[in-house]
Amino acid sequence: MRLNLSSQIVLNKVPLAYYKPKTTVEYSEISRMEKIHTDIFASSMEGAAHVADQIEKEIKAAQHEGKYYVMALGTGLSLTPIYKELQKRCEAKQLSFRNVVAFNAYEYYPIAKESSLKSINQLKERFLDHIDIDPQNIFTLDGSVAQDASQPSEPVGNHPRPEGSDGSTRQPKRRDCRGGRNQDEVQRIHRARETHRRQDAPTGEHQNQGSLQLL
């Protein structure tokens, strides 16, 4: 029995109807078990063109409304075909990035400012330097900040407690989720209810029933 068949499952051997149905009814039949909408394409370039279409549509909609369009960019290799497709459309004057604000999604730390391995340098080389985005609209984390400078000046939670009007240090009240009461108030109420039940309960069987209700 052959068990390594996963490498044999390729789209050029799968009928188109199984991953790109022609009608809504056919699509609902093959996707009824999906929790997330999924589009399948025969090639990465076809999928990249589809994603670029959606990005272009939203950028132009923001331009029409006089707004900025915000993008969070990563450096994964799977994004390269999308970047190339968007770059091609920008060079053809089909799409402009003048209203786009770009954020580098992550950065290595610690890393030297001049390092070619920085995520932002990779983004510029592969995408940002080839489109008409305003350099002032590109934002990234600084991976060259010294570790000492990135630490708080004093330990978290070591702040002095606020003083009362008489100069005494106020203790924070413990809060409970029930009605915003603190825990001391809740305990006093429980003790009062317990005392009241014991005084009202006669004896014997009824007293046992009261105990069960309390639990």
Picking from 202, 198, 199, the residue whose alpha carbon sits closest to that of residue 211 is 198
CB atoms within 10 A of CB 59: 20
Q: Which two tokens stand for residue 89?
A: 């459309």
The residue ranking higher by pLDDT, 91 or 111, is 91
Which pLDDT belongs to residue 147?
73
- Say which amino acid occupies 29: E
Instruction: Give the per-residue pLDDT at 212.
Output: 36
Q: pTM for the whole thing?
A: 0.61
Stronger pLDDT, 93 or 186, i.e. the higher one:
93
